[in-house]
């Protein structure tokens, strides 16, 4: 098996100087070679440090992740597993970009202002419930033949 060096992975991550065929070859290789996956991951981390806008990198990363999942596992497209994956990726972005932190602080402030809370559900539980009901909704629409074309 022909391996790719760090320089190649850097170009791949930065979207530079690679033909479509080369990118395909590298993508395929990435799914089958652990050593190259490590090179790739370290290049992703390095490129994230370089990017002036963190959000752009994260959005792109999640986008690539979702596109790759859809391309390589088409049979999973309609399955709820993919929806869970997308939800997880979205949550990850929220956590990393600090939106989560702001949200948590806001909810905490509200809780402090109303000390007599009937139930002391934790924020993560509330968030989990929201996510689950959201996923249920998607699942229902999916079963009805909707949501995705
Ligand atoms: Zn390799």
SS3 call for 140: helix
Q: Is residue 123 part of a domain?
A: no
Other CB atoms within 10 Å distance of the CB of residue 17: 9
Q: Is residue 20 part of a domain?
A: yes
Q: Is residue 44 part of a domain?
A: yes
Task: For the chain, list residues with pLDDT below 70.
Answer: 49-59, 69-84, 86, 93-104, 106-107, 111-121, 142-149
Q: Is residue 29 part of a domain?
A: yes
pLDDT attached to residue 62: 74
Question: What HEC string does 28-64 produce?
Answer: HHHCCCHHHHHHHHHHHHHHHHHCCCHHHHHHHHHHH
pLDDT attached to residue 35: 92
pLDDT attached to residue 111: 67
Q: Is residue 31 part of a domain?
A: yes
pLDDT attached to residue 76: 46
Query: How much distance in Å is there from the Cα of 136 to the middle of ligand 1?
Result: 40
Residues of the domain holding 7:
1-48
* CA-wise closest residue to 142 among 82, 74, 92: 82
Q: Is residue 35 part of a domain?
A: yes
pLDDT attached to residue 125: 80
* CA-wise closest residue to 119 among 129, 105, 131: 129
Query: How much distance in Å is there from the Cα of 37 to the middle of ligand 1?
Result: 7
Query: How much distance in Å is there from the Cα of 59 to the middle of ligand 1?
Result: 26
Query: How much distance in Å is there from the Cα of 33 to the middle of ligand 1?
Result: 5
pLDDT attached to residue 24: 92
Query: How much distance in Å is there from the Cα of 23 to the middle of ligand 1?
Result: 14
Query: How much distance in Å is there from the Cα of 27 to the middle of ligand 1?
Result: 11
Query: How much distance in Å is there from the Cα of 102 to the middle of ligand 1?
Result: 41
Query: How much distance in Å is there from the Cα of 134 to the middle of ligand 1?
Result: 39
Q: Is residue 40 part of a domain?
A: yes
Q: Is residue 58 part of a domain?
A: no
pLDDT attached to residue 139: 72
Q: How many domains does the chain have?
A: 1
pLDDT attached to residue 26: 92
């Amino acid at each position: 098996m022909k391996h790719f060096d760090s320089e190649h992975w850097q170009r791949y991550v930065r979207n530079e100087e690679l033909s479509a065929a080369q990118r395909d070859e590298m993508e395929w290789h990435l799914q089958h070679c652990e050593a190259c996956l490590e090179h790739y991951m370290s290049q992703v981390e390095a490129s994230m440090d370089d990017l002036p806008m963190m959000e752009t990198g994260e959005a792109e990363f999640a986008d690539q992740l979702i596109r790759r999942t859809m391309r390589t596992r088409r049979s999973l497209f309609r399955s709820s597993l993919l929806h869970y994956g997308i939800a997880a990726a979205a949550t990850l972005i929220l956590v990393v970009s600090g939106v989560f932190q702001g949200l948590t602080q806001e909810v905490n402030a509200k809780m402090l202002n109303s000390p007599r809370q009937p139930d002391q559900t934790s924020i993560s539980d509330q968030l989990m419930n929201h996510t689950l009901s959201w996923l249920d909704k998607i699942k229902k629409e999916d079963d009805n033949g909707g949501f995705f074309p």
